[in-house]
């Protein structure tokens, strides 16, 4: 199946982004995907090499976003929300390239 979303329709895309709970200087962000990815796509997404992060050391060296069903969730520093958004979108592109439909 090679990364094909469960609904069988082409590349997975980010269709929405929302923020939830603020904890200190971080906010929980959720990106909704166009489909539920399979295990191969999820693994490629999570291990994709992306640009080096800037900001606090715990952010630069911390873990990446998690894929949960049809969403990507991540606690990110509020001031680096745009960087986190760019990283998630890059990871989606990498996963789609490596897991063609």
In Å, the largest CA–CA distance within the chain is 42
- The neighbouring-strand residues paired with 27 are 22, 76
Give the rounded percent of residues in the chain with a pLDDT score beyond 70. 90
Is residue 44's pLDDT more than 80?
Answer: yes
* pLDDT computed for residue 99 by the predictor: 92
Claim: this prediction has a pTM higher than 0.85: yes
pLDDT band at 6; cut points 50, 70, 90: very low
Cα 39 from Cα 2, distance rounded (Å): 9
Tell me what the mean pLDDT of segment 64-74 comes to. Answer: 96
Per-residue model confidence as pLDDT tens digits over 49-58:
888 899 999 8
pLDDT band at 9; cut points 50, 70, 90: low
pLDDT band at 1; cut points 50, 70, 90: very low
Structure tokens at 84: 């986190």
């Amino acid at each position: 199946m090679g990364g094909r979303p469960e609904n069988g329709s082409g590349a997975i895309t980010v269709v929405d982004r929302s923020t939830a709970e603020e904890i200190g200087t971080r906010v929980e962000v959720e990106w909704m995907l166009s489909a539920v990815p399979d295990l191969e796509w999820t693994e490629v997404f999570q291990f994709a090499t992306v640009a080096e992060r800037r900001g606090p050391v715990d952010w630069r060296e911390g873990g990446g976003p998690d894929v949960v069903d049809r969403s990507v969730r991540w606690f990110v520093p509020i001031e680096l929300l745009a960087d986190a958004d760019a990283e998630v979108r890059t990871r989606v592109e990498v996963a789609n390239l490596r897991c063609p439909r």
